[in-house]
């Protein structure tokens, strides 16, 4: 969706979404507009309509209403985590676990939006760190983990990971990741901090294996 101009505020669609209980951040994500622009439009709208904010809060509360099935899901989640030491995955083989993973994801979104029902907040508090991390932060952590793994891989005397059909496991994962970094670097899309970190930790990463060079592993 095209970005709305500030002099056209308030955007009627955004106002409806806000009235339906969506947060400013969620609206910005859905319409692909800067959060500051959405906030500006909604400030204009709430100033013109004193009943808009209460309507938003009431709708948000309804979205996180505590139900018997919801409480049951929470109990199942707590039992799973305490028994296995891990959180459910949306890629799990069993449908019940995938259902729990989806439910947890929604509660995390509610918590970040500030609309999580107190009963869920209190019940989930027995699981330290259940809120998880925002996607951007989680992506950064995964990137650093890959860099550390690549550094250790090379420090073990191994050549650059290969991209071959028969290659599996760590070498395959590192090669796919490294290929992505090279692609982004060639297109000028790799963050300068990440490029510098790679230059420091893994000199020669841009070129990789040289043709005709005998593999070291």
pLDDT (tens digit per residue) in 159-210 = 999 866 566 788 888 999 999 999 999 999 999 999 999 999 999 999 878 7
Write phi, then psi, for 24 (nearest 5 degrees).
-60, -45
Contact of 115 with 23, CB cutoff 8 Å: yes
DSSP state of 127: S
pLDDT-derived band at 115 (thresholds 50, 70, 90) equals confident
pLDDT in tens, 7-66: 577 899 899 988 888 888 888 888 888 888 999 999 999 999 999 999 888 877 666 677
Q: What is the DSSP letter of 207?
A: T
The CA distance from 69 to 81, in Å, is: 18
Residue 165: per-residue pLDDT: 59
pLDDT band at 3 (very low <50, low <70, confident <90, very high): very low
Domain ranges of the chain: 6-63, 68-124, 135-201
If residue 68 lies in a helix (H) or strand (E), which one and from where to where? helix 68-84
Specify whether the CB–CB gap between 121 and 94 falls below 8 A. Answer: no
């Amino acid at each position: 969706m095209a970005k709305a101009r500030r002099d056209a505020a308030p955007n009627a669609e955004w106002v409806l979404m806000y009235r339906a209980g969506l947060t400013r951040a969620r609206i910005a994500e859905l319409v692909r507009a800067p959060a500051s622009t959405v906030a500006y439009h909604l400030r204009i709208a709430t100033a013109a309509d004193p009943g808009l904010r209460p309507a938003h809060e009431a709708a948000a509360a309804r979205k996180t209403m505590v139900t018997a099935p919801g409480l049951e899901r929470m109990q199942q989640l707590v039992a799973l985590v305490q028994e296995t030491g891990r959180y459910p995955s949306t890629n799990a083989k069993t449908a019940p676990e995938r259902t729990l993973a989806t439910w947890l994801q929604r509660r995390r979104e509610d918590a970040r939006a500030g609309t999580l029902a107190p009963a869920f907040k209190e019940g989930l508090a027995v699981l330290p760190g259940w809120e998880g991390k925002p996607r951007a932060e989680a992506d950064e952590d995964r990137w650093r983990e890959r860099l550390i793994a690549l550094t250790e891989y090379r420090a073990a005397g191994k050549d650059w990971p290969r991209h071959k059909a028969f290659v599996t496991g760590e070498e395959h994962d590192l090669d796919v990741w490294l290929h992505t970094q090279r692609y982004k670097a060639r297109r000028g899309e790799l963050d300068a901090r990440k490029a510098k970190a790679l230059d420091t930790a893994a000199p020669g990463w841009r070129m990789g294996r040289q043709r005709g060079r005998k593999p070291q592993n």
